[in-house]
């Protein structure tokens, strides 16, 4: 049986994260993605909100290159598997490919918040919510 660690990311900052639910005793990590923070110019207000969410989760917080930090965390726990929740983030697939080169990866599907097939700008919550609210409250 593989020994997992959990990678928690910004698209499932919840105690109901399926990876946390499935493996409640597994060590978990969150990584502040330095490149993404700079590229997207994420506001201090959003960073504070994310940090407050993280304080409610059983995670170790790191920063740097996400794949490298997750792999180092797995290695430090002698883990042979990383588990996480799915993400629509454009960077998610690339990070997963890097992780899968070294350990097994299990990705839990998430129940969508609402059904939508079009493009949504994920850089700003307000842009996401402008689209989402039309579907959530109908």
Higher local confidence (pLDDT), 8 or 14: 8
pTM for this model (two decimals)? 0.81
> Would you tell me how many other CB atoms lie within 10 Å of the CB of residue 48?
10
For the chain, the helix, strand and coil percentages under 3-state DSSP, each to the nearest 5: 40, 20, 40
Q: What are phi and psi of 52, to 5 degrees?
A: -60, -40
Average pLDDT over residues 62-78: 97
Is residue 33 within 8 Å of 61, Cβ to Cβ?
A: no
The whole-number pLDDT of residue 40 equals: 81
- Assign domain 4-111 to a CATH class: alpha beta
* pLDDT over 80 at 136, yes or no: no
pLDDT tens digits, 76-119: 999 999 999 999 887 899 999 999 999 999 999 977 555 656 66
Listed residue (41, 106, 37, 42) closest to 66, CA to CA? 37
Average pLDDT over the chain, rounded to whole?
87
Report how far Cα 78 is from the mean position of its chain's Cα atoms.
21
Average pLDDT over residues 53-60: 96
């Amino acid at each position: 049986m593989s020994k997992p660690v959990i990678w928690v990311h910004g698209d499932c900052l919840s105690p109901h994260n399926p990876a946390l639910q499935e493996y409640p005793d597994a060590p978990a990590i969150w990584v502040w993605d330095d490149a993404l923070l700079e590229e997207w110019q994420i506001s201090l207000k959003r960073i504070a909100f994310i940090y407050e969410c993280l304080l409610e989760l059983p995670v170790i917080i790191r920063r740097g290159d996400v794949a490298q930090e997750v792999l180092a965390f797995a290695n430090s726990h002698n883990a042979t598997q990383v588990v996480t929740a799915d993400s629509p983030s454009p960077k998610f697939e690339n990070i997963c490919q890097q992780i899968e080169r070294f350990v097994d990866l299990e990705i839990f599907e998430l129940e969508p918040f609402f059904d939508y097939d079009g493009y949504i700008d994920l850089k700003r919550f307000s842009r996401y919510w402008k689209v989402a609210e039309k579907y959530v409250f109908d």
